[in-house]
Amino acid sequence: MPHPRLLAVAGTVLLAVVTTLAPVLSSQAAPAALAAVCNRYCDVRDPALSPGDREGAATTLFGRRIALHLNDTDAMGWASVNGGQPGDEVWLDRSFDGGRSWSSGSRLGATRIPAGSAGWRTMMFNNDDWAARGIGALRACAKPHDRPDIACTVWARTTWNAYDGRTAAATGLMQYYRNDTGLFGTTGWWNSANALTALIENIRVTGMPSYRYAIANTYDRNLGAHAGNFRNEYLDDTGWWALAWIAAYDLTRDARYLATARIGADHMHSYWDGVCGGGIWWRTSRTSKNAIANELYIQVNAALHNRIAGDTAYLQRAGAGWTWFQASGMINSGNLINDGLNMATCRNNGDASWSYSQGVILAALTELHRATGDATLLTTGRRLADTSTTTTYLNPNGILRDPGEAPGGGGADGPSFKGAYVRGLAAFNAVLADRPYTAYLRRQADSAHTKNRSALNTYGLLWAGPWDQSDAARQQSALDLMNAAG
């Protein structure tokens, strides 16, 4: 459990004032193991055996310096306190959900500065629990012998499965993955589809297979959820999951994933009708027709055609979807796509131009061009991409930002938008010989990595900074960005 009255100080130091403390060791210098995890080595290993010592985080309390030491070779860490007095306590906390809880990993190796010394350290403990697929984080904590105050460093981890920006972002996302549900904690159903898609793309572009297990686990645990086969009342949700399973099929060649994507596409198609001249509804209750659901409809159907030999039906649907979309009025005179249609007039509703609406259409045009070879699709895509990458509406000071974004904001859905945008832009950029949007993507990634990243390699909402908070949707967008930027 969290330490009583845990407070954040200046975003970097955690302090707590407590009235009672857990029992400490009777022997001042002997470490205690309150958890037993064995990876390459088991918990409670002498730091003198570490082949390296990288300081992952540090803080101070009443003249004492508390540090988290990381052994990147063996994926272990230990805590130290210096400048203290005999009897001062020092220990590690370990979390398997990105620092949101640590009840089973609290006070690891708790020990005290021995008589005659001003510093001490714990033994080494594992960062992760590989056997249980636990993606961990560590922090160092200490308490003066004569005060109730506790200070802890920020959470950090070793570079195991986090050896560059892309793999670190993937490992940051997997700290939110729940093995028991097959979904990503702190976010919703459709966001989890995007998170899985970003993870699959990361496996493809980095070659790091460590989290491949999440694909089958998510599928097996959720195949019967909602309406089954990853369908529900929201047609865009169904589209996101269909794209996730197309990506899974591309990576694994497991035919069940493609079959499920087909079921999703057919479900979406059953809500195409002649209202406003065509298009699919956003929801099975048939309340509105919007951009994102129809963009996904085009992309999913074109992608299925490109993967099914002899298909004509999915190609016809994708082509009809694009013809209708072009004429719908949702692409405004400034070459941005608004949210949807006013159902009373069947005209552009003038609502916000969200980033993901600008990106998914690019991915859709990419798949449709692959299917047809029609060069006009790329010409149209360039016009849209040129606008979305340069307009100050979406790029104040050159960094992508959705309308209304503010620290701590975004709601349940908004934090996923920018990831879907850069994923679509990257797919479109890859089919253009001159790769015109590479510099844009790298500028976004450089800004986010420099200004919007925690010590744990988790990302906030604002890619221009400052870091606000982390959750699976924010991290999914960041992972999409790192994948896209290369």
Handedness of CA 351, 353, 356, 360 (dihedral sign): positive
For the cut 50, the answer to whether the pLDDT of residue 136 exceeds it is: yes
- E strands, 39-122, where? 54-61, 64-71, 76-82, 89-95, 108-112, 120-121
At residue 18, the pLDDT reads: 30
Provide the terminal-to-terminal Cα distance of the chain, rounded to the nearest Å. Answer: 39
At residue 131, the pLDDT reads: 96
Q: Where in the chain is the domain with CATH 1.50.10.20?
A: 165-485
Distance (Å, rounded) from C-alpha 144 to C-alpha 113? 10
CA-to-CA separations, 419 to 191, 287, 291, 299, 357, in angstroms, rounded: 10, 27, 17, 16, 11
At residue 104, the pLDDT reads: 83
For the cut 60, the answer to whether the pLDDT of residue 178 exceeds it is: yes
User: 165-485 is classed in which CATH architecture?
Assistant: Alpha/alpha barrel (1.50)
Are 253 and 259 in contact by the 8 Å Cβ rule? The answer is: no
Name the β-bridge partners of 347: 342
Which tokens hold the place of 286?
């048939």
For the cut 80, the answer to whether the pLDDT of residue 325 exceeds it is: yes
Which carries the bigger pLDDT value, residue 248 or residue 27?
A: 248
For the cut 90, the answer to whether the pLDDT of residue 8 exceeds it is: no
In the chain, % of residues over pLDDT 70? 93
Distance (Å, rounded) from C-alpha 323 to C-alpha 325? 6
- Own/partner long-range contacts of 434-443 (Cβ < 8 Å, ≥24 apart): 436/382, 436/385, 437/385, 437/389, 438/486, 440/389, 441/481, 441/484, 441/485, 441/486, 442/485, 442/486, 443/398, 443/399
- When pLDDT is cut at 50, 70 and 90, the band that residue 19 belongs to is very low
Which tokens hold the place of 436?
């015109």
Helix ranges (DSSP H) in 89-183? 165-174
Handedness of CA 250, 253, 255, 260 (dihedral sign): negative
Q: Read off the pLDDT of each residue in 315-325 and give the average, rounded to a whole number.
A: 98
- When pLDDT is cut at 50, 70 and 90, the band that residue 323 belongs to is very high
At residue 35, the pLDDT reads: 54
At 423-475, the pLDDT tens digits run 999 999 999 999 999 999 999 999 999 999 999 999 999 999 999 999 999 99
At 355-404, the pLDDT tens digits run 999 999 999 999 999 999 999 999 999 999 999 999 999 999 999 999 99
- When pLDDT is cut at 50, 70 and 90, the band that residue 103 belongs to is confident
At 21-36, the pLDDT tens digits run 232 332 333 334 445 8
For the cut 70, the answer to whether the pLDDT of residue 268 exceeds it is: yes
Give the global pTM: 0.92
Average pLDDT, the chain: 93
At residue 14, the pLDDT reads: 34
DSSP at 61: E
